Structure 1
Amino acid sequence: MKLHIQNNFTTELPADSSEINIPRQVEQACFSYVQPKQPSNPSLIHTAVEVANLFGISQEDILSADFLNTFSGNTVYPGTKPYALAYAGHQFGNWAGQLGDGRAINLTEVVYNDKSCTLQLKGAGPTPYSRTADGFAVLRSSIREHLCAEAMHYLGVPTTRSLSLMLSGDQVLRDILYSGNPAYEKGAIVCRVAASFIRFGNFELFASRNDLATLQSLTDYTIKHHFPEIKSEGVEKYLDFFQAVSQTTLDMIVHWQRVGFVHGVMNTDNMSIHGITIDYGPYGWLEDYNPNWTPNTTDRQHKRYRFGNQPEMALWNLYQLANALYPLINDAKPLEAVLNTFSTDYQKEYLNMMRNKLGFKIMKDEDAILIESLIELLQLVETDMTIFFRNLGSIQKEDSAEIAFDKIAAAFYDEKALNESILDNWHAWLGYYRDRINQETVSDAERKEHMNAVNPKYVLRNYMAQLCIDDADKGDYSLLNELFELLKKPYEEQPENQKWFAKRPDWARDKVGCSMLSCSS
């Protein structure tokens, strides 16, 4: 196995002066060198071959001892020196100070076909940023990360990728519900792949300490290597950088809302400067269309990171990034100008996204009212978001409201809850919708094809992931392989996999891992 190594980050940015691997405050450094802890008996569970191909790893390489040893942390690849990033962040709206890669270790940067990426192990042991944690991860959360990163990619959502999933052979102690009842679970390691793992919190750390030299070095480095399209200089360069991050963040959130994804932990240390989804913890897909739903047990009371609040939280996090970059600009007005356009731009992009979901190519002023009334209707009784929008594409221009309703009825969890008033409202809306699609010039078949390209049939529902976890815990990885292949084609009909195009089963409504999840991993 041959990797084409480059070490730009560690070569060009300041390193921690100490290599003592104990929890501590790290000053005036962007990273700390750290060795992964050797697992006792690593074994490969699954590899995303398409990700391996991104940096020149072949099928033969995947089966090699080099692959197993490198991506389990058992050995350090020649010419590399693993490291953990230093960053800070706001967690649930509160300043948390130094955080850093507490259970993530960056192996190296690689370049292939003129594209570079960073390879990172999650769960490979402690770092100086582990605080009171052990730096390891368990099979449960690692399966969720591995499956979700790839599922999001194939949904067309900007995301980190996942190369491999391995067992460490070691046991890891976790309190899954923070209930005071910890238990040992199988340890696991995921290799994550991204252009970089630089976050909003990297900039917050140095701004908070008034370490402006390191702040500027990090920002200049980030623009040079990851935003080469920015050609401006001085203050304008930093403003263009902030504008670019704001735009890609907005694009990412629109995609989240399109497919019904809820991140669950939108802290500033979990926000990538690339506008990609990062850190898959207690995430979930909206099943019942409830904008107030959050998958995170820690967020149960205040629901800060609920589905409907994700755009506002993205903007809040961008405010924190703006504050961090302010010392390089020394003028709040241009930063505020970017922030002030975010909500307006989001509403425009959201409206266009919803038009696509509804099959509208022609833009009409009344679309906003039709969409708003639909969102209200979807909340009247428990309605499955994925099934509703997918089946909506089957409605034809000549359908009566009653026939149209029959085509979406499978999305309701309890049809008995549909009283006469709610049924009347649905029939009225479907009548308006029929009139609206009759204003479109495309055929029913063309519109359905267009809608099916943006409304997925298959998403990684929490109960599906939990079934996979339960089997994997017994050493059976067949469902893991099945779901991985299913989620690579989320927009295709896949009639052989029709059983997964179904509402959440009743047994999963309150089962641990199927409804809400903790940050425990």
Structure 2
Amino acid sequence: MTPALVHRYLDALPGDATGGHHPRVVEHAAYSLVEPTPVRAPSLLAWSDALAKDFGLARPDTTDSSWLDVLAGNRRWPGTRPYANCYGGHQFGHWAGQLGDGRAITLGEFIDRSGRIHEFQLKGAGPTPYSRGADGRAVLRSSLREFICSEAMHALGVPTTRALSLVATGEQVVRDMFYDGHPAPEPGAIVCRVAPSFLRLGSYELPAARGDHDLLRRMVQYTISEHEPTIDPQSPEAVSQWFDAVCRRTAALVVEWTRVGFVHGVMNTDNLSIHGLTIDYGPYGWLEPYEPNWTPNTTDAQMRRYCFGRQPSIAQWNLSRFGGALAPLVDNTEALEAGLERYAQVYEASARQMYADKLGLAALEGAEDEALLSDLFKLMQQTETDYCLFFRCLAEVPAEGAPDSLRALFEPAYYRADDLRGPVGDALLAWLARYQARIGRHPSEQRREAMNAVNPLYVPRNYLAQQAIEAAEQGDLSELERLCAVLSQPYSAQPGAARYAARRPDWARHRPGCAALSCSS
């Protein structure tokens, strides 16, 4: 079965008429038509059955390679007009000018079984006009990481783009993983990403920066008409209402990142979706030892601009750049300024409730609860304490009983178990006594279940992904398949899956791909 195809984006907005893959400046256009570059020997490595079911798609098999050829970029899907988006962005706080889809090619817009429209996009499908001289390809390690994390985030309940397939190209791609002068060939792969659209803040920044207000206006009108059903596109307040909606969604997204311990790694404005989705999985990471200043991105190792603790403020900074881009379309910028204030309000209220949920409380009530939370994070920073595992352990704490008996309960969350028998352990027990007193005032039989429903047991830790990568590079897909299966049920303990819930092992502390990653992919 082939899902129905529409062309809203291509029909509504102007495209680049030049044609070809050669790098160039593209003006007065939202996209460039471009064909994927065929690969030598495609083979299917991973497939999302859950996502495919939404579109009535069957897993490609050896008896029919047509679907596989489409997902590898070797065959045109009937009726499609593949294209790459033109956009700009602020990267690490500085305006970077034109960027665009340098290795992502959108196949088209497809209708799922419920009538919703989604774009299918191949990442790593070859050069586009925005490749800036690069090859437009992607390596297996980055593509596999995106496939795993996209589907894991969906299972975690975090808004995200999805991943339909992971296809090996049968070709080698040369990359300098840490930009240290040691390029090496790696196996190539293509991931098929799925989203309502791949429009991002930078999609509107570029025409605004160029003074191309006609294109900017058309893009905003299209976006509101097709993606914001609750906003009247003819209303004088439509632009400010849309901005407000993007601010709200972005605030909710960052709260969800914080809840599960996700660090994006490259929160440039071209990597933030207008839909409030996690997009562009590059050097992401999962907070293992709790450290707000931690970032997985080696490029950001000195500035730590995009570290875990700064993600909320960076999101607001990015939105301020986005609001500035929309300013030429409104008569009064006060409404846009109100949108930024709304971001702060939504983030603060949502974050308070999120932390209450993680603690098993109905709400954070007053200064006492605020101190309980802040003192917990100070305690977790005193020694290496696993962020996700600590809250899973906390759900097992009874409302009554001597705290002294609880040291062993928290051993899975501490990277140095001996700390629990010293001052750190004493401080933990003192905090637990306060916590027991707090939950004892409002006991709930459902507290454990409620906490475990928001505090995941399984997350795609970098070392787990790296193990799957290394096995896949040797032709063994069993680890990838097992990991994806476990991550599809992140909140429930699964038989035989204890090692996927374990804290990061010592061998992975400084190993490339496990603790530190780069933008090279």
Length-normalised TM-score, structure 1: 0.97
Q: What amino acid is aligned across from residue 17 of structure 1 in structure 2? A: A
Matches within 5 A, 1:71-470: 71-112=71-112, 113-231=114-232, 233-365=234-366, 366-417=368-419, 420-443=422-445, 446-470=446-470
- How far apart, in 1, do the equivalents of 2:358 and 2:451 lie? 6
Deviation, 1:456, is: 0.4
Deviation string for 1:411-436 (max 9, x for gaps)?
11113345744333222211110001
CA contact (8 A) 2:201 2:272 kept: yes
SS in 2 for 1:496: coil
CA contact (8 A) 2:244 2:342 kept: no
- In structure 2, the partner of 1:26 is 26
- In structure 1, the partner of 2:514 is 514
SS in 2 for 1:71: helix
Deviation, 1:52, is: 1.0
Pair 1:114–1:454, CA change in 2 (3 A): same
SS in 1 for 2:247: helix
- How far apart, in 1, do the equivalents of 2:255 and 2:478 lie? 33
SS in 1 for 2:496: helix
Q: What amino acid is aligned across from residue 139 of structure 2 in structure 1? A: V
- How far apart, in 2, do the equivalents of 1:92 and 1:341 lie? 24
SS in 2 for 1:137: coil
CA contact (8 A) 2:407 2:420 kept: no
**Gapped runs of 5+ residues in structure 1?**
none
Q: What amino acid is aligned across from residue 224 of structure 2 in structure 1? A: I
CA contact (8 A) 1:110 1:117 kept: yes
- How far apart, in 2, do the equivalents of 1:278 and 1:8 lie? 21
Deviation, 1:520, is: 0.6
- How far apart, in 2, do the equivalents of 1:241 and 1:356 lie? 29
- How far apart, in 2, do the equivalents of 1:63 and 1:352 lie? 51
- How far apart, in 2, do the equivalents of 1:121 and 1:313 lie? 28
SS in 2 for 1:379: helix
SS in 2 for 1:163: strand
Q: What amino acid is aligned across from residue 428 of structure 2 in structure 1? A: W
Q: What amino acid is aligned across from residue 258 of structure 1 in structure 2? A: R
Deviation, 1:501, is: 1.5
SS in 1 for 2:472: helix
**CA-based RMSD:** 1.4
Deviation, 1:498, is: 1.0
Deviation, 1:364, is: 2.0
- How far apart, in 2, do the equivalents of 1:415 and 1:486 lie? 26
Q: What amino acid is aligned across from residue 28 of structure 1 in structure 2? A: H
- How far apart, in 2, do the equivalents of 1:485 and 1:454 lie? 19
- How far apart, in 1, do the equivalents of 2:487 and 2:377 lie? 26
Deviation string for 1:161-218 (max 9, x for gaps)?
0000001111111001111110111110000000000000000010001101110110
Deviation, 1:131, is: 0.7
**Gapped runs of 5+ residues in structure 2?**
none
Length-normalised TM-score, structure 2: 0.97
Deviation, 1:356, is: 0.3
- How far apart, in 1, do the equivalents of 2:390 and 2:420 lie? 15
CA contact (8 A) 2:252 2:346 kept: no
Deviation, 1:352, is: 0.6
Deviation, 1:398, is: 1.2
SS in 2 for 1:217: helix
CA contact (8 A) 1:381 1:418 kept: no
SS in 1 for 2:117: strand
- How far apart, in 2, do the equivalents of 1:405 and 1:242 lie? 48
- How far apart, in 2, do the equivalents of 1:267 and 1:91 lie? 5
Pair 1:211–1:232, CA change in 2 (3 A): closer
SS in 1 for 2:44: strand
- How far apart, in 2, do the equivalents of 1:147 and 1:223 lie? 31
- In structure 1, the partner of 2:482 is 482
